[in-house]
Structure 1
């Protein structure tokens, strides 16, 4: 993509193939973000390299203080591991989910965008866009869709299979500030089982301390007072 993009940058819109090194080329664009990136994924590609590299680069952007908005379809969330999403959320990414139709898109600093087809496309394609008028339209449409979407926490809360009843009870015990022994007795489990549940929740929520568990659980709307 790089050579073709450089050769035709003045054209404003460049079509290129998704084969070859396009994954790496898109990641290079992301790494050069100056202040913000909007990533909208409705129908992802099947490339595991693209997914893995995307997770790494989003993490790098957040670590360097860039603003990152992530817009996903429910189908995307159902097909992917939630832990990277929860970790990105804990790092400051703004993540929302929508049932509305939208196109796979990446918009960087409102100065360059990439549109691409997802898995199952008969003729996979991708476009690099630098035309200012089109970029403004893409950015406005992406933000309007993002603003009308629901937060990741609300989505997970409405899809309670992600956190079973015992997990929610453990979260509430932690929120009440109960010591492990008291919480285990309250829930009718062994101390070892309770501590294992806490460790699993820390891993699933992408946090390192029990205090952070409470913060993330509150942000995701997982705390349910009265659940004993």
Structure 2
């Protein structure tokens, strides 16, 4: 699966690069900036017949445009929302209650790219992470769309259901907890981890003890296993 996802990511990047080198032809310009991003996504949703898969990282322009487009989905569509932890807010909760469509939402700690895939036939992908202008590329090439589907499916399978994620203690959903868990997973000593996080050794150990208590773990190894099960940490 990991090799498949790596190949899918490479194909996506090469396809985006190819589109960016091609000159725009009429109205089928491969780039859509913030001014028309919403129109493009709304057009994709209007053409949807079966499913819409969306991954959101917190990019404000993409988040706003995707939310507006999804608010108008028709009855019968299956909509899967995969979001980074910073996107888990009231906006996402409202989206999952749009009448008519069947919404499913999961939270992923994995690295994501803002993507929008419709019926496995067409897609839109954020052209560059952190692009301030919101440039995106509409993708219609079947192989590239399939690659995006594979990338989404892999991240979706490892994501945590939204309701389960929201049921976690706020302490377990904090950025500091994630960073501590990563260092526990990577085998940092307490001294090295505390220095890396710029906290005292005593404070670091107190946080570790609190995390273990919240996870109901009797050892650090057990805490790591539990964190993976809860989707707080990748394997």
Q: Which TM-score band (shorter chain)?
A: 0.5 to 0.7
Deviation at 1:86, TM superposition (A): 4.5
Match for 2:32 among 17, 26, 37? 17
Residues 1:135 and 1:52: Cα distance change in structure 2 (over 3 Å): closer
Which residue is equivalent to 1:39?
Answer: 54
- CA–CA distance in structure 2, aligned partners of residues 34 and 65 of structure 1: 8
1:157/1:49 CA distance change after superposition, 3 Å? closer
Return 5+ residue gaps in structure 1 as ranges. Answer: 162-228
CA distance in 2, matches of 1:34, 1:82: 22
Give the TM-score, by structure 1 length.
0.56
Using a 3 Å threshold, how does the CA distance of structure 1 residues 159 and 5 change in structure 2: closer, same or farther? farther
Match of 1:95 among 105, 111, 129: 105
* Distance of aligned partners of 1:144 and 1:47 in 2 relative to their CA distance in 1, 3 Å threshold: closer
Q: Paired residue for 1:70?
A: 81
Per the alignment, residue 128 of structure 1 pairs with 138
Distance 1:112 1:82 in 2: 23
The 1:110/1:52 distance shift into structure 2, 3 A limit, reads: closer
Q: 1:26 & 1:126 partners in 2: Cα distance?
A: 11
Structure 1 residue ranges (4+ consecutive) displaced by more than 4 angstroms after TM superposition? 4-9, 88-91, 117-120
CA RMSD of aligned residues (A): 3.1
1:133 deviates by: 1.0
Change (3 A) 1:21 1:125: closer
Residues 53 and 118, structure 2, Cα contact 8 Å, conserved in 1: yes
Structure-2 separation of matches of 1:24 and 1:8? 13
Going from structure 1 to structure 2, the CA distance change for 1:98 and 1:49 (only over 3 Å counts) comes to closer
* Shift of residue 15, structure 1, vs aligned partner: 3.1
The worse-fitting range, judged by mean Cα deviation, of 23-32 and 93-102 is 23-32
SS at match of 1:68: strand
Q: Counterparts of 1:91 and 1:48 in 2: how far apart (Å)?
A: 19
1:98–1:52 Cα change, 3 Å = closer
Q: Which residue of 2 aligns with 1:111?
A: 121
Residue by residue, what CA displacement relative to the aligned partner does 1:45-80 show, whole Å, maximum 9, x if unpaired? 2478625523412xx33xx101111101101114x4
